[in-house]
Structure 1
Amino acid sequence: MKFRTDKDLELLRYADNDMLEVLVNYLTKDKDGSERLTESLTGNEEFKAARGNYRQVWKLIGAELQHFGGDTFVNLFRGSGVVYREILTDVCKKLSVKTDFSADIVSIEQALLAKLFADSWEKMSEAERQAIRKQLKIDGSLTSGAALTAIISAIRLGGFMSYQVAMIVANAVAKALLGRGLALAANAGLARMIGIFAGPVGIAITALLTIPAISGPAFRVTLPAVVQIAAMRQQLLKKEEDIF
């Protein structure tokens, strides 16, 4: 499967290798840890020659995701999959994410993260919510609903909170689906939030992946994959902010 030119997947060229490894695991491994029958990465000679240097084969990784996002028969006909925006849009629509799908890719990813955060918030205890509010520096006098609204608004605006939530959600998804979280050099506050959030997000994601109406084989790959890519993009955006 050839890589289809896609500006929204160019970030794979610059992403952290550990983060790319998580994405590769989503693309190549089933929930029981065995290789997916439909994956083509692990048998690719160029991929094997890279010996875990995933940046070196970022186009192969991108092509594999594009393949999962497209219809199998159509993929064979055109020799490539679909662009990332189409994959992200499909995931968002299946999850009833409300956003402008003609907006820039970061805004759509933030809307997805906000939706997953909101779903997880509903599954948290009051003590967990209070701990998250403290770490995110949300006014303690706000009601639970108002606090959630403030957090969602901040996620959609971008900046540091958007980065924090992206890391929290992506870590929880990895822990739920791969059995281990992200290899993050997080500060103490972010590390605490990651720990608090892992359970609720994991429960929410696991539930989504068992809904028959939306959880086909491709969706079980594309949902965690777009969450991981959204987190990688936020990570790169934060690095740019740190530089400038």
Structure 2
Amino acid sequence: MQHQWDEMHRTRKPTFVLCGEPQGDVLNLYVHGYSAFFNRQQLGNFKQQLAAIEGSTNLMLFWPAGHFLENLFAPFKDVLASLLGGGGLGAATVGVGKAIAYFLDHYKSVEARVDEVAKTLLPELAGYLHDQSLPVRRINLIGHSLGARILVKSLLASPEIARELPLNNLLLMGGAICTSSPWDEVSAPLKGRLINCHSSKDWALAMKPDTERCIGRYAIDVTPALKAKVTNVHLASFDHAAYWPQLKTVVQYTDLLQERRGMIRVDSRSSEVRFAEADVDLYPALMQARPEELKFLAELMAQKRSAAIDASVREPLKLAIELQRMGGDSFMNLARGHGVGYRQIAEDVAQRLGIKFDQPLEHVTLAEIEGQVAETLIEQYKDKLSRADRQAFEAELQAAAQKEQGLFNRLDVGRSATAALSGTALAGLTGFILRRGAATAIPVVGQALAAAMLLVSGVRAFSGPAYSITTLAVLVVGVIRQRMEREALNQELDLVVQVVEAFDLPRDTVMRTVATD
């Protein structure tokens, strides 16, 4: 790794880095974006992460993408120290202006290298595969940010070589390239799909120093001619930095390695499968679930006599389909060919519990609904526990609060910042329920809803949603989603710590700024 780092920075020439041992004849080529690695350790960690993608040979293109710390902080250490330490308005204005100018110049200088890297990428890949004698039957191209732009431009720059290589899927994550690119030409040499992962929460692309409408924030316009080739995947909870840390989830969610065939019993072309995969509020969260959470959900839903799964199921897709079924009326499910979306499930649970919001329910964020459901259930839950269980429950809540506080301990920020994270109640309640197990948890919450269910008469009482199950499912899915957000926040705080330590900035002032941001 030391040699590769030194050689690339000496020659500024892209180099291929094999991540782990070859695994079969499917090759994944990963191309990082702007400002990816600040030091050799970050590059090494990234290499290990790619090596963990099983079922394929993993190769990375390491190219001179620079890092914003090179030109943004180092030349202005004194000015930034003055600004953060309470310096005058004049120094602050000049410092910010210079920092922005340097950032723009640095980004533009890196962006200018894209065409040069793209021009030689496919020819050099073909040469590398020949020289290394790697047996490759299928190649998947995966790019993030400017790395996505490099891959798109490489296909346009070398169409003949692209047709000769066994290119399968092109996965673009947070792509920093215009939506109006010639996608018919880009997708032509692919035997598989062009998959565009985008998110409206990608504010890094929204702040990009030009007016380009990037595919990382918007879907590609799928014309009839592109329908069989281009797939847009909206990852609503992702920001620009979320793709690499959650790469395994993206690979599985988009079925990049085509592993789903034969893995699930339901017809892969059924409306239930398509509906579940399109539920961005549920399926990506289940892909991130921990084993104990999947186990709990399976055991929870398997207790319903009409369940189509048993307690041994762990596949996120099967669990998503079953939860959507249980959230809807069985007769309506039959008529439309699938259950209901997770958002509707959460809203139904909130209404069943009598939760009131200050604005119309459709305008309330999903995280807020999940949090309010947890808070409402806490008192109902505690009232039905034995004294010993109640003490254990209080301990779980306290442990969740301490864990949340622990995120900031190394940053020396106050409790006010921790309170802004919220979710202690959700994490505590869900953690306690997971430890008790589904068989014990259902009667407790079910009793809290029994009176309301008795008011429902006729066919609806037998065919309606299983609220004792969906209520607990909302708690579990909510805590998964919150953990994903906390991990993303933790990565941002890690970067702040690196900046503070690398440039000896005033620690207390920086951390107070982070806490109030």
Q: Distance in 1 between matches of 2:394 and 2:342?
A: 36
CA shift in 2, pair 1:12/1:176, >3 Å: closer
- Compare 78-87 and 210-219 and name the one that shifted more: 210-219
Kindly tell me the number of residue pairs found equivalent between the two proteins: 188
Q: Aligned with 1:208: secondary structure?
A: helix
- Choose the corresponding residue for 1:109, options 370, 373, 390: 370
Q: Distance in 1 between matches of 2:320 and 2:398?
A: 38
Q: Flag the structure with more relative contact order, 1 or 2, with Cα contacts below 8 A and sequence separation at least 6.
A: 1
CA RMSD, 1 decimal: 3.7
**1:71 matches 2:311:** no
Structure 2 letter corresponding to 1:114: E
Q: Distance in 1 between matches of 2:285 and 2:395?
A: 33
Q: Is the 8 A contact 1:173 1:205 kept in 2?
A: no
- After superposition, residues 163-182 of structure 1 pair within 5 angstroms as 164-174=424-434, 175=436, 177-179=438-440
Q: Aligned with 2:370: secondary structure?
A: helix
CA shift in 2, pair 1:17/1:158, >3 Å: farther
CA shift in 2, pair 1:226/1:243, >3 Å: same
Q: Is the 8 A contact 1:170 1:228 kept in 2?
A: yes
Structure (1 or 2) with the greater helix fraction = 1
CA shift in 2, pair 1:60/1:211, >3 Å: same
Q: Is the 8 A contact 1:68 1:222 kept in 2?
A: yes
Structure 1 position 212, deviation (Å): 5.0
Q: Which whole-Å deviations, capped at 9, do the CAs of 1:3-41 have from their partners, x for residues lacking one?
A: 312110121112212211111111112xxxxxx321112
Q: Distance in 2 between matches of 1:107 and 1:96?
A: 15
Structure with the greater alpha carbon radius of gyration: 2
Structure 1 position 176, deviation (Å): 6.6
Q: Distance in 2 between matches of 1:211 and 1:38?
A: 22
**1:20 matches 2:290:** no
- After superposition, residues 77-116 of structure 1 pair within 5 angstroms as 77-99=335-357, 100=359, 101=361, 102-116=363-377
TM-score, structure 1 as length reference: 0.63
Q: Aligned with 1:81: secondary structure?
A: coil
Structure 2 letter corresponding to 1:213: M
Structure 1 position 67, deviation (Å): 0.4
State the match for 2:450 in structure 1.
210
State the match for 1:223 in structure 2.
471
Structure 1 letter corresponding to 2:445: I
Structure 2 letter corresponding to 1:224: L
Q: Distance in 2 between matches of 1:132 and 1:37?
A: 31
Q: Which whole-Å deviations, capped at 9, do the CAs of 1:69-110 have from their partners, x for residues lacking one?
A: 111111111110000111111111010112242222111111
**1:232 matches 2:505:** no
**1:2 matches 2:272:** yes
Q: Distance in 2 between matches of 1:133 and 1:17?
A: 21
Q: Aligned with 1:213: secondary structure?
A: helix
Question: Runs of 5+ in structure 1 lacking a partner?
Answer: 30-35, 43-47, 138-153, 181-201
Structure 1 position 134, deviation (Å): 7.4
Q: Aligned with 2:451: secondary structure?
A: coil
Q: Which whole-Å deviations, capped at 9, do the CAs of 1:24-70 have from their partners, x for residues lacking one?
A: 111112xxxxxx3211123xxxxx9xx76x3xx21221111000011
Structure 1 letter corresponding to 2:370: E
Identity, in percent, stands at 22
Q: Distance in 2 between matches of 1:240 and 1:83?
A: 25
TM-score, structure 2 as length reference: 0.32
Structure 1 position 208, deviation (Å): 0.8
Q: Which whole-Å deviations, capped at 9, do the CAs of 1:147-173 have from their partners, x for residues lacking one?
A: xxxxxxx99x751x41x3222111333
Structure 1 position 117, deviation (Å): 2.7
- Compare 7-16 and 88-97 and name the one that shifted more: 7-16
Q: Aligned with 1:98: secondary structure?
A: coil
Q: Distance in 2 between matches of 1:119 and 1:178?
A: 18
Structure (1 or 2) with the greater strand fraction = 2
**1:11 matches 2:266:** no
Q: Is the 8 A contact 1:176 1:206 kept in 2?
A: no
Q: Distance in 2 between matches of 1:39 and 1:69?
A: 12
CA shift in 2, pair 1:210/1:171, >3 Å: farther
Question: Runs of 5+ in structure 2 lacking a partner?
Answer: 1-270, 403-416, 493-517
Structure 2 letter corresponding to 1:117: I
Q: Is the 8 A contact 1:75 1:81 kept in 2?
A: yes
Structure 1 position 234, deviation (Å): 1.7
